[in-house]
Structure 1
């Protein structure tokens, strides 16, 4: 008996010690709605949850202590901090030494001993058991109402990772959500939430079903980086002779279409720069992560803290202040975009074998449009027949977009009339008797169409006809559309690299391409197939026995491309066409490129090389180029250079001399440097200099200092001179630019991080007859500061940036959706039954939310000067003075949190407006757009469970540039919130606010108003248990329109109840009685705002919701 007591006592002692040592847990994790905190059971009452430093009320969630799960009453979608304690056991698990179901019963007889029992599969078995990590959610829902049909919705989001068999792993991301948008392109790494796949793999095999990437295979001519949706298989194995085989096979639907776009930078314009499709589609969606952006041949990095950001959905590119964009910036962008004209299949196979001294590869690629599977482009039989007859002349594939559909409510329709002797003239009409034509208008350029933009309505744009003058069209739109032809690409390449001996190796490759730009037609197919070949020899000589010493490398390359050879993507260097002066010339013919390169290489010092090249395109271009490049480091000197001389003949004789060099000297803590860039590019015909000729010289001095591991400082001064040919065919100085700037960084410190940049540029036009460019003064600046005191009582984060760019005039339309699934509601203020643009309001109740607002791209931009300022300040004195006495103890009861966010764009370049983020008033004509939010919260006794207070000052302002004018909103308020838990089960809250609200637009008069308001509210809540809560409240307030005569006095009584069933669901209900004593026109925008979507007089509002967890 004593031994049993001893064992039991030891058991509880060990358990107690274990709990005391390791039961406290702190976890920070992203939460959607439900989370499993731990594998052990929670100590009841020990859980505390913080969101953004604020303690969450226990009423916001339900807990299962035994299962260690927390379910929130609504979706959180944020990172939370959990503090809790656990028992050393999981009480929800079953513990047993033997399976009692296996106990033999004598009553069942001996036959029971010989029965075969099969263990049924469980969900855990299907998904791989304990070796597989699972994360995700499954939801099912039902929608119903008195003005809509019964609807069922569901969602599946599941992530799996782990072992499913010995030496076989699974990685999966599965969802049934259809996501038509791309992620934000403002970070270096993307959240590719549309990547859905199942991957099974081990050391030799990898099989992916779903979304995947395929990258450039081994070889020279075949280049791609594609996104596909289907199957891809990778396999690697050792060969019989000790080599390694690697192969990849893919069959999929291609998700993108490739394009390469060249953009000439504009002075004092960081963007946005609009990307267009390969067939000049003006509005496209870029596939996330497929872009490669270059400036002057240098590859850039994506990210707000790097070189550029990109909006994939609007295909707009904006450069950060790290790269000042000027008239001389050469921008090249390679990307893929979503093209939904046809379903497009993708087949890919690449195999290569490598052993000592031998590398062989073979690649096959095919991408083809299914011409009979149209997606977003509808083709009639007559249109298909039309495309069949135009062959490769796809510029002729333009057809009428006028379709007779009859009258359809809530659509933009046109009537057809005769006017001024012209028949078939289209006019916008609302008459059901004549409005029978649905028309798509396409922009074709000035004086190339017969229609012009008329007005912007809620359903979209309308256009009107203008009569030709002297037979010359006066419009820029036509009722037509360009048909996209189905295409087919096939590519095959095969090559080998063989090491002949210690010093010599050869490489050869052959490629075959087929590109049919119109698979509807068999005409002009003779030029669809092209060939290419390459042969290269390399010799490497070591000047010493040590292989790390100097090497002398010689290479001889020759390549040939037939006239019809069509690469999948650009396989040469990004500025190859500019190096040879063939950019935009569209020379046709067989291409021959030969080069000899000799270089000296040193692992210690660098390398130097000299290259001789010859390039020919049929009989249209013939060029010879001498090129040298290198980088060398020695005794604190560092030099980098490239220089070339091109002599070519086409329709003109060309001489192109260019060099770029950078030289620096390390002087201990300081580095002095010089950079220059010079070009002389002359085109002449019959010894006469042509207008294409130019020259420039760009040089820069800089000094840098600091410890590269902690601090960096750089100051530079730069000048550039441009020459253009004058009327006498002589190069003359046309422009001068002066730039200067400073960069400073502090990194590697725990308490402070600083990154700053200031730049200035002045462009002077010396002769406006030679260079059509306005003079500009440009300033850019950027400050990124992060500061935190040692004890963490003060935290400061600041981001400040100035620059220049463009702002798009936004167009938008309202689209009707199912009731309750929209954001806006339509109020027919003028009673004409027509949905006008100024008759839509944000819905106050879910049953009224029947419309969504969709912004449509526009090509209309306005020059702006930009200022962005973001700062966050958090003062928590309790971290420093919590253990102090007197005044410090009293101050520790307070805390303050401030957030300032201002993003404004103005039309004036004066320094005060440019530098001061708070300068421009909302009604200023100089202010183009703004989106600002200022909020300061002063807390008292913030973490107390008994009493706390908060005083808030806030200002929110927005101003948007629309195609129809400006739309500005402003709300300014002061709030006081008090909370008092006067009894254990009772909580009281008092809230008071005072402020004003402004609406100002210039495209209509009935939306301009200024409201002064005040509100006071008191609420008492009774919570008898953790799953039941009652509440009653009273609110009183007044509103007055100081631009009009409208006034409002309101009183509101409400009661609510909330009931939670742990792990099952929750029921919420509320009833409000609201008395609106209103004077004014209730059927107006100001009336809708003041009445909060209710009616004058007495109103009863109720809502009841039930959420079920399944």
Structure 2
């Protein structure tokens, strides 16, 4: 009780001042956390006054995050902190450069003609950058070096530069260079273009264009060879004359095309794992290069569109407003980083155009350099395996084990022979013959090993018997490949009513450059010819179209050219045969709203497959009513089956003055029978889909749409179509109110699926967005509420050791066994200790969940009454802000819905992110008896591969400030908090820490350039469980700031800690309580100097140090330069 009395008494008598704006380099940013690693700023930041404030408005303890001040990179748990505020000072801007009296490369031998010597002079002109004179530039370059007694010298740099403008009257320059850590070579430059995260330089003239750097090569002009590639290289285009254009590109390939397809799970919004070309889960997708299709329709990426995607983990999640059903066919075209070999690409094109004839040629070549492997180093035996494998991927495997010796961060195995069966067994015995073994997932009951356990440095596998596991001690070898394509296309218009199009393509695909086996299948031909003729060209136009397409069975195109739904549309099981495809069409058209079109198609393969399809499309608009139909009938047969595929889609829509009404019907019957038995095969299906809808308003602005959908699905049971389920869907889409004061939109989709052979299912997706301003902004409300279902992964990760000071985590061997256990890694408080990175591993294990989410903000702003009198004037001095976010995921059980985000039932709760904070201000930002009372409560529950982890924080904090006597500032802060951590499998990390803090601070402002502060910070912490650790910490500190009008700055800080700690200091709980310091006396200090050298160049020097009672002092220093453009 006496602590609380002392706390509030000091707050009532405390006085404080707020200094004037000491520097234009001060920054305050509010960040919505989407990931753990955040780039705070583009330049280095000052560590002296750096603060992270949580969603409750309270400062986050330094051991809760890792900050690299040099790179301005913050690492913090995004699941624990959904929103933070960062306050800091930027360093002045600078650039680094090697200074020397002369360039030794310019020194000539005595026998050289002295007339070629260079004259070295000093630039006497004012400091003004002239490098990009005449161009618009935006960005910066920074270079720096950090070194210390506890770490080796580390170079660091950042580059973010945009240039645009005219080099001459007809030549335009555009450039973009971005790099967060350029590797420093002897010449001070990046080694090559691939070291950059994003770079290009483009010069354009009306008759030519040159672009170098990171490119996106595209070809959408050809039918047989559409592609898009992310590469790094050079692209040139030139207009020879008005009729002739040429282009050429040469580059190193960054991305390799892949396709992944799967059927969705009813009500599961994701995330869904995307697998690689060889069904591998580990890969890096190229950002922004994917195309996602659902039932043949292309989706849009974005939080307010259809889906979002995690490129590092390869996981796709569909948004609440795009409901997922079990009849959705999902295709994902994407590119992934393939670094097995150095891969080169060349792409050339030439185009001739005239009044009646257009002709173009394209040549594409993409080759792996088989003698330049990157990620795999092939032995002679492995190359021999590839040489004998031909194009057969199943033969491209090799044993992974090789002899090795016991060492740090190694997982090794010994060979064991039991009953003539030889297998590997995990071992740490250095006296035995040990092997380094890699295991590959080969499928359930296809391997001999299972995953036994996970450690911080990797996985350990256990032998369980032949074909009883899912892993094998093998590695898949990747063969170098070659792809070439030559295409010629032409468009000929002999008359105004006639068009003849042709395209011929030749492909050359070698799946294995180490082997000549199967090379006879490498080259193949494809061709297409098309004739279009206008028969009648009046109000109603009649047009015919006839085309024929041929493709050899070995024809290869880099990406899909037939359409993602082509095989399904034609009932093709496999299409690895030579293709002949004839199509004709007759179209009668008035305009785009009134037409009728008939198509006939004949498709055959030389494996005996033959198909005929009739299709009728129409659209008519009469008055305010629109009718549209799409009907097709397919008959096909093959040596295995005979099929009939009928499809019909009809839609009618009537528009009233301010509303509309409509209906839609969608039917499919796909009858597939075995040729020999005349029995239906299981891939036969049938469905009927009926929909009615009505809407009010303008669908592009304010509107409400209501609809009902009924669908039945039939499958084959006992050789006949049998209804397996039916689904009733009720939905509403609306944007009800949208003006300056109010925004209200509602989306809801409720589905009831009645299954004939399994349990019935109910699914709900909903989203409500409401924003309201009351009483001239006196009260502001913001609400977002969502419900959906999906799944959540048990996140796995691994710790990787890096150079000292370049990581974010530190390893403390608490049990002194030399093994890096998961519970021995901590977020490094001091940068020189940060020598580990934590990398997430692809998720393969998911738990089905039901989600409920709400975000609520309430702002009371009585300051609008500042000009009033009486009680309103008094109330205007207050300001209150409340922020609430709850993301609740519970295990999905039956047909129950998780509508209440505040239901924290421990029996079903899988994941939780609950945060509430309230900040009440008096005289906000005025520093005239200013008071801030903050309340916060958070609860975070996570599913990790190593077990469940739950963290709870409850706190109260008061801050009082007052300015007096012009030069004096006194602050007083007090806080009471409870911090609880509970882990499923690591009891030594569990704690419940009750803390009490108070900090008075006095600042003397000599003038606007100088500030001196003295402060005292008292903390009392007590762990209420386990070993009942206790800490009484006293911190005495002084600070000095000098910021001059000449753009230089000096800051210094010295702190003395007295840590009276009771308990084991070598434990995770002690690290949490001591915040990385040691028991007893501790000292920390730093000095930072910043100087603006000229109009664009800035220099910064920093020195940091610390010392504990029983250790030597640790010193760290850095120098950085930055140039602004």
TM-score range, shorter chain: 0.7 to 0.9
Whether 1:682 and 2:671 are equivalent positions in the alignment is yes
Once residues 1010 and 435 of structure 1 are traced to their aligned partners in structure 2, the CA distance between those partners, rounded to angstroms, is 46
Where do 1:783-932 residues align within 5 Å? Answer: 783-788=768-773, 791-878=776-863, 880-908=864-892, 914-920=898-904, 924-932=906-914
SS in 2 for 1:915: coil
- Of 120, 127, 132, the match for 1:128: 132
Where do 1:578-617 residues align within 5 Å? Answer: 578-582=568-572, 585-603=573-591, 605-617=593-605
Q: Offset of 1:1041 from its aligned partner?
A: 2.3
Q: Deviations over 1:305-361 (max 9, x none)?
A: 111111111111111123211110111111111111111111111222333232221
* 2:1031 alignment partner in structure 1: 1048
Q: Offset of 1:738 from its aligned partner?
A: 1.2
Once residues 448 and 709 of structure 1 are traced to their aligned partners in structure 2, the CA distance between those partners, rounded to angstroms, is 54
**Closer/same/farther in 2, CA of residues 76 and 1095 from structure 1, 3 Å limit:** closer
Tell me the C-alpha RMSD between the 2 structures. Answer: 3.1
Q: Offset of 1:265 from its aligned partner?
A: 1.0
Whether 1:1100 and 2:1100 are equivalent positions in the alignment is no
Q: Offset of 1:179 from its aligned partner?
A: 9.3
Q: Offset of 1:229 from its aligned partner?
A: 0.7
Where do 1:343-362 residues align within 5 Å? Answer: 343-362=342-361
Where do 1:674-713 residues align within 5 Å? Answer: 674-685=663-674, 686-708=677-699, 710-713=701-704
Q: Is the 8 A contact 2:742 2:773 kept in 1?
A: yes
SS in 2 for 1:416: strand
Q: Is the 8 A contact 2:728 2:751 kept in 1?
A: yes
* 2:449 alignment partner in structure 1: 451
- Of 951, 954, 966, the match for 2:933: 951
Once residues 126 and 1050 of structure 1 are traced to their aligned partners in structure 2, the CA distance between those partners, rounded to angstroms, is 55
* 2:514 alignment partner in structure 1: 520
**Closer/same/farther in 2, CA of residues 498 and 815 from structure 1, 3 Å limit:** same
Once residues 852 and 821 of structure 1 are traced to their aligned partners in structure 2, the CA distance between those partners, rounded to angstroms, is 8
Q: Is the 8 A contact 1:224 1:568 kept in 2?
A: yes
Once residues 1087 and 124 of structure 1 are traced to their aligned partners in structure 2, the CA distance between those partners, rounded to angstroms, is 53
Once residues 1045 and 618 of structure 2 are traced to their aligned partners in structure 1, the CA distance between those partners, rounded to angstroms, is 71
**Closer/same/farther in 2, CA of residues 352 and 933 from structure 1, 3 Å limit:** farther
- Of 641, 645, 652, the match for 1:656: 645
Q: Is the 8 A contact 2:681 2:716 kept in 1?
A: yes
Higher relative contact order (Cα pairs below 8 Å, separated by 6+ residues): 2
Where do 1:1074-1093 residues align within 5 Å? Answer: 1074-1093=1057-1076
SS in 2 for 1:196: strand
Q: Is the 8 A contact 1:217 1:363 kept in 2?
A: no
* 2:709 alignment partner in structure 1: 718
Q: Is the 8 A contact 2:42 2:158 kept in 1?
A: no
Q: Offset of 1:765 from its aligned partner?
A: 1.1
**Closer/same/farther in 2, CA of residues 982 and 998 from structure 1, 3 Å limit:** same
* 2:662 alignment partner in structure 1: 673
Q: Deviations over 1:661-716 (max 9, x none)?
A: 22112233332211121111111124322222221111111111123454111111
Deviates more, 1:377-386 or 1:1095-1104: 1095-1104
Q: Is the 8 A contact 1:179 1:194 kept in 2?
A: no
SS in 1 for 2:378: coil
* 1:437 alignment partner in structure 2: 435
Q: Offset of 1:174 from its aligned partner?
A: 2.0
Q: Is the 8 A contact 2:960 2:972 kept in 1?
A: yes
Deviates more, 1:1021-1030 or 1:473-482: 1021-1030
Where do 1:447-596 residues align within 5 Å? Answer: 447-466=445-464, 468=465, 472-542=466-536, 544=538, 549-582=539-572, 585-596=573-584
Deviates more, 1:352-361 or 1:908-917: 908-917
Deviates more, 1:261-270 or 1:838-847: 838-847
* 1:38 alignment partner in structure 2: none
Q: Is the 8 A contact 1:457 1:837 kept in 2?
A: yes
Once residues 254 and 154 of structure 1 are traced to their aligned partners in structure 2, the CA distance between those partners, rounded to angstroms, is 26
Once residues 673 and 735 of structure 1 are traced to their aligned partners in structure 2, the CA distance between those partners, rounded to angstroms, is 25
Once residues 289 and 933 of structure 1 are traced to their aligned partners in structure 2, the CA distance between those partners, rounded to angstroms, is 32
Q: Offset of 1:1066 from its aligned partner?
A: 4.2
Q: Is the 8 A contact 1:33 1:76 kept in 2?
A: no
Once residues 859 and 958 of structure 1 are traced to their aligned partners in structure 2, the CA distance between those partners, rounded to angstroms, is 23
TM-score, structure 2 normalization:
0.83
Once residues 256 and 660 of structure 1 are traced to their aligned partners in structure 2, the CA distance between those partners, rounded to angstroms, is 39
**Closer/same/farther in 2, CA of residues 284 and 254 from structure 1, 3 Å limit:** same
Whether 1:934 and 2:916 are equivalent positions in the alignment is yes
**Closer/same/farther in 2, CA of residues 125 and 848 from structure 1, 3 Å limit:** closer
**Closer/same/farther in 2, CA of residues 124 and 568 from structure 1, 3 Å limit:** farther
Q: Offset of 1:230 from its aligned partner?
A: 0.5
**Closer/same/farther in 2, CA of residues 1061 and 120 from structure 1, 3 Å limit:** closer
**Closer/same/farther in 2, CA of residues 354 and 796 from structure 1, 3 Å limit:** farther
Once residues 354 and 54 of structure 1 are traced to their aligned partners in structure 2, the CA distance between those partners, rounded to angstroms, is 66
Q: Offset of 1:28 from its aligned partner?
A: 13
Q: Offset of 1:1096 from its aligned partner?
A: 3.6
* 2:368 alignment partner in structure 1: 369
- Of 1001, 1011, 1022, the match for 1:1019: 1001
Q: Deviations over 1:1055-1110 (max 9, x none)?
A: 22334466665444333333333333333322332233333444334444555433
Q: Offset of 1:252 from its aligned partner?
A: 0.7
Once residues 527 and 904 of structure 1 are traced to their aligned partners in structure 2, the CA distance between those partners, rounded to angstroms, is 55
**Closer/same/farther in 2, CA of residues 277 and 150 from structure 1, 3 Å limit:** same
Once residues 664 and 835 of structure 2 are traced to their aligned partners in structure 1, the CA distance between those partners, rounded to angstroms, is 61
* 1:11 alignment partner in structure 2: none
**Closer/same/farther in 2, CA of residues 284 and 775 from structure 1, 3 Å limit:** farther
**Closer/same/farther in 2, CA of residues 1025 and 74 from structure 1, 3 Å limit:** farther
**Closer/same/farther in 2, CA of residues 970 and 499 from structure 1, 3 Å limit:** same
TM-score, structure 1 normalization:
0.84
Q: Offset of 1:945 from its aligned partner?
A: 4.6
**Closer/same/farther in 2, CA of residues 948 and 355 from structure 1, 3 Å limit:** farther
Q: Offset of 1:865 from its aligned partner?
A: 1.2
* 5+ long unaligned stretches in structure 2: 1-26, 31-39, 45-52, 58-68, 75-83, 88-120, 184-194, 1091-1098, 1101-1120
Q: Is the 8 A contact 2:321 2:765 kept in 1?
A: no
**Closer/same/farther in 2, CA of residues 630 and 246 from structure 1, 3 Å limit:** farther
**Closer/same/farther in 2, CA of residues 343 and 356 from structure 1, 3 Å limit:** same
Once residues 178 and 958 of structure 1 are traced to their aligned partners in structure 2, the CA distance between those partners, rounded to angstroms, is 33
Q: Is the 8 A contact 1:1076 1:1098 kept in 2?
A: yes
SS in 2 for 1:165: coil
Deviates more, 1:1022-1031 or 1:645-654: 1022-1031
**Closer/same/farther in 2, CA of residues 444 and 369 from structure 1, 3 Å limit:** same
**Closer/same/farther in 2, CA of residues 1006 and 571 from structure 1, 3 Å limit:** same
Q: Is the 8 A contact 1:1051 1:1076 kept in 2?
A: yes
- Matched pairs, number: 982
Q: Is the 8 A contact 1:739 1:759 kept in 2?
A: yes
Q: Is the 8 A contact 2:158 2:181 kept in 1?
A: no
Once residues 431 and 875 of structure 1 are traced to their aligned partners in structure 2, the CA distance between those partners, rounded to angstroms, is 67
* 2:115 alignment partner in structure 1: none
Q: Is the 8 A contact 1:553 1:600 kept in 2?
A: yes
Once residues 1034 and 323 of structure 1 are traced to their aligned partners in structure 2, the CA distance between those partners, rounded to angstroms, is 55
Q: Deviations over 1:825-846 (max 9, x none)?
A: 3232223222211122223333
Deviates more, 1:1031-1040 or 1:222-231: 1031-1040
* 2:118 alignment partner in structure 1: none
**Closer/same/farther in 2, CA of residues 892 and 806 from structure 1, 3 Å limit:** same
Whether 1:756 and 2:746 are equivalent positions in the alignment is yes
Once residues 489 and 574 of structure 1 are traced to their aligned partners in structure 2, the CA distance between those partners, rounded to angstroms, is 22
Once residues 129 and 1041 of structure 2 are traced to their aligned partners in structure 1, the CA distance between those partners, rounded to angstroms, is 38
* 1:624 alignment partner in structure 2: 612
